[in-house]
């Protein structure tokens, strides 16, 4: 009988020692996998109930033309999202081009000249630098429009500095911003309890301060979301977790209705808001992607745990550790050299179903302050819920591994990453063990 191991050894030419290493790690972490399945089940039933409550029908997969008035599918999709994320209202649109765009709509839709925003979780993700006005100042940044920005850096132990946050709040403070995921950082993602602690502290000082959460990479990691614990507005990308690998593009924003209205006027124009906007026949993909998202996210999460434990056993620093509480799908590995980072990413690319023959190289991507290498052979361009790895080429040379529509594919990515490092003489492993 043909076996998976034989296929990996003989067809994909993975060294036997590497296969044995990964298989032994799977045995070590089987109980951690079982814990993840419990959260997956809860979230699956939550999504199912929302679709049933909204009386989802195949007529909601149709679409109209022109202005897009009275699009029942679009309206139902946004109702489902508002229920799933326990919010008053939602915007879910294919015209939101990525997570950065969704976040920018929130910031520019809510903040006004003279307002102050405080990032409670250090510097946000690099692509927001120019939106805020931190780098390459331009005529469309928040800074240029008179919005003041403060940032509270993490404590040395990786915790949010709540005392500094409290002391930084002034009468001008309109918004406190929380980034749930690590981004290109070396810290664990904020858990829902951690986010709740920040929100409770801010609201105890001034109930009117708007708390915004960047939820990218964090959807369906826990049984609750930031909007369950008091976040006023939250945004993310459909080509990450909630799209389930099926959404072709788009982003979502959920939160308080009056804030959604303000953001919708920025998305289209004042007076029009959410009433217009074609879905271009994509509602079926968005609904179905959301439906399978809890399953897909759990598969990707299992792959991240495997990656963490494998590299931990090899003596590398990883964040988070395999048995840490997790609140995003990203696994960081400190590889300590550009050669190892590049080799690992080449291995991930060679594991892809799409463009597996392509060799990724570092390049100066817009929005980043150093060359970045990105390995992603995805069915949807840039889809972070599909298997990928990326890294800024700068010290301490950390690779960020994420995604995998199936656990087997995420596992294969780990195998190929190790094999690529081994082939270049960058991995010390007994392949005859």
pLDDT tens for 247-295 read: 999 999 999 999 999 999 999 999 999 999 999 999 999 999 999 999 9
255 and 402 share one domain: no
The sheet with strand 89-93 has its strands ordered as 89-93, 251-255, 233-237, 210-214, 173-179, 116-119, 148-151
Q: Number of folded domains in the chain?
A: 2
Supply the range of the domain harboring residue 347: 4-43+294-423
Q: Does the residue 210 lie in any domain?
A: yes
Tell me how far apart the alpha carbons of residues 232 and 221 are, in angstroms, rounded to a whole number. 20
Question: Alpha helices of 111-187 — where are they, by DSSP H?
Answer: 129-132, 162-168
Please identify, among 255, 290, 325, the residue that sits at the C-terminal boundary of a domain.
Answer: 290
Distance of CA 248 to the CA centre of its chain: 16
Residue 53 forms part of a structural domain:
no
Q: Tokens 């409290």 — which residue? A: 166
Q: Is 429 a domain residue?
A: no
| 381-396 per-position pLDDT tens digit | 999 999 999 999 999 9
Residues 118 and 190 in one domain: yes
Say whether pLDDT at 1 is over 80. Answer: no
DSSP alpha helices (H): ranges in 29-160? 30-53, 72-84, 99-110, 129-132
pTM recorded for the entire structure: 0.95
Query: Does the residue 55 lie in any domain?
Result: no
Please compute the mean of the pLDDT values over residues 296-310 and round it to a whole number: 98
Same-domain status, 109 and 160 = yes
133-150 pLDDT, tens digit each:
998 767 789 999 999 999
Q: Cβ contacts of residue 152 below 8 Å, gap of 6+?
A: 118, 119, 120, 121, 122, 160, 161, 164, 165, 168
Examine the domain organization and report whether 190 and 214 are in the same domain.
yes
Query: Is position 430 within any domain?
Result: no
Nearest-angstrom CA–CA distance, 86 and 89: 9
pLDDT at 127 exceeding the cut of 90? no
Q: Are residues 14 and 114 in the same domain?
A: no
Hey, is 91 helix, strand or coil?
strand
**278 and 381 assigned to the same domain:** no
Q: Mean pLDDT for the chain?
A: 95
- Among candidate residues 238, 270, 290, the one where a domain is terminated: 290
Q: What is the sign of the dihedral through the CA atoms of 241, 243, 245 and 249?
A: negative
Averaged pLDDT for residues 5-22: 94
Query: Span 189-193, mean pLDDT?
Result: 96
- If asked whether residues 214 and 333 sit together in one domain, one would say no
The residue out of 235, 260, 290 marking a domain boundary is 290
Q: In percent, how much of the chain has pLDDT > 70?
A: 98
Q: What is the CA radius of gyration of the chain?
A: 22
**Closest to 216 measured CA to CA, from 246, 177, 186, 248:** 177
Residue 357 lies in a domain: yes
Residue 52 lies in a domain: no
Instruction: Report the CATH number that the domain containing residue 220 is assigned in CATH.
Output: 3.40.640.10
Number of H helices, E strands in the chain: 12, 12
- Tell whether 285 and 315 lie within a shared domain: no
Say whether pLDDT at 367 is over 80.
no
Whether residue 142 sits in one domain with residue 92:
yes
DSSP-derived secondary structure letter, 238:
T
pLDDT tier at 194 (50, 70, 90 boundaries)? very high
For residues 339 and 424, the answer to whether their CB atoms sit within 8 Å is yes
Distance, CA of 209 to CA of 211 (rounded, Å): 6
């Amino acid at each position: 009988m043909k076996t998976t191991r034989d296929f990996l050894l003989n067809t994909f030419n993975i060294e036997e020692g590497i296969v044995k290493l990964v298989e032994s790690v799977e045995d070590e972490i089987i109980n951690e996998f079982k814990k993840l399945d419990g959260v997956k089940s809860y979230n699956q039933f939550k999504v199912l109930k929302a679709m049933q409550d909204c009386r989802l029908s195949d007529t909601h997969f149709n679409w109209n033309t022109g202005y897009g008035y009275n699009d029942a599918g679009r309206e139902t999709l946004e109702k489902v999202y508002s229920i799933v994320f326990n919010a008053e209202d939602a915007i879910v649109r294919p015209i939101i081009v990525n997570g950065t765009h969704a976040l920018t709509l929130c910031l520019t839709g809510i903040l006004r000249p003279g307002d102050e925003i405080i990032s409670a979780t250090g510097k946000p993700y690099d692509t927001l630098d120019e939106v805020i006005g931190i780098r390459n100042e331009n005529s469309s940044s928040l800074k240029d429009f008179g919005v003041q920005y403060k940032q509270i850096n993490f404590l040395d132990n990786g915790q949010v500095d709540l005392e500094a946050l409290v002391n930084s709040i002034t009468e001008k403070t309109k918004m406190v911003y929380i980034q749930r995921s690590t981004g290109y950082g070396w810290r664990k993602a904020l858990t829902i309890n951690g986010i709740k602690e920040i929100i409770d502290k801010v609201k105890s000082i001034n109930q009117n301060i708007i708390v915004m959460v960047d939820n990218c990479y964090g959807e369906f990691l826990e049984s609750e979301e930031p909007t369950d614990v008091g976040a006023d507005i939250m945004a993310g990308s459909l080509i990450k977790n909630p799209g389930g690998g099926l959404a072709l593009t788009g982003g979502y924003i959920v939160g308080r209705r009056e804030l959604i209205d303000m953001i919708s006027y920025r998305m289209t124009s004042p007076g029009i808001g959410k009433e217009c906007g074609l879905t271009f026949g994509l509602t079926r993909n968005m609904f179905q992607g959301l439906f399978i998202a809890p399953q897909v996210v759990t598969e990707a999460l299992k792959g991240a745990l495997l990656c963490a434990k494998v590299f931990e056993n090899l003596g590398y620093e990883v964040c988070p550790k395999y048995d840490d509480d997790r609140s995003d799908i990203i696994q960081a590995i400190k590889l300590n050299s550009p050669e190892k980072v590049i080799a690992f990413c080449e291995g991930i690319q060679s594991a892809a179903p799409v463009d597996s023959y392509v060799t990724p190289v570092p390049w100066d991507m817009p929005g980043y302050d150093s060359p970045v290498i990105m390995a992603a052979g995805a069915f949807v361009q840039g889809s972070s819920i599909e298997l990928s790895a990326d890294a800024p080429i700068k010290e301490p040379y950390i690779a960020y591994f994420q995604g995998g529509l199936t656990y087997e594919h995420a596992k294969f990515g780990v195998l190929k990453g190790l094999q690529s490092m081994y082939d270049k003489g960058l991995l010390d492993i007994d392949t005859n063990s």
